Amino acid sequence: MKEIFRQCTYFLFIVLAFSFSEPGLVLDADECIVVEIYEAIQAEYGVQVLTPYGTLEDAELILIPTTIEEGSYKVNVTREAPDLYALEGTDFCIKTDYCLELALYDEAVLKIDHTYGYTKGILLIL
């Protein structure tokens, strides 16, 4: 009898907890933290880079840290590599922190809150 009462109490608690949650807390977009902004320069044929492992590899993009003015921007993004997204139609790329979205010219909102520090803002992929 005590076990049945305990299970009913847990069930009631869970139902009540979810019934009072705010609907505005659920996002329809994937939210990613922006940790760096780069100007991306397409490397010419034959340009190589030395990796941390002491090997030479062909360079595809040269990424130079830069800033973007604080604000919100409607952008299209494409994933270039894990945690690296190109802002289509610009020379900018952004580095994210554990963003798993496989974007291919996806609509997004880029919110830049800071031009300094570890995080620069967020990327909401719609």
| Domain coordinates in residue numbering, the chain | 24-125
Q: What is the pTM of this model?
A: 0.72
The residues near 79 (Cβ < 8 Å, ≥ 6 apart) are 85, 86, 101, 102, 103, 104
Q: Profile the chain (126 residues) by mean pLDDT over runs of 10 residues.
A: 59 49 46 95 94 95 95 96 96 94 93 92 93
CA distances for 72 relative to 6, 10, 75, 108, angstroms: 49, 43, 9, 10
| pLDDT value of residue 41 | 95
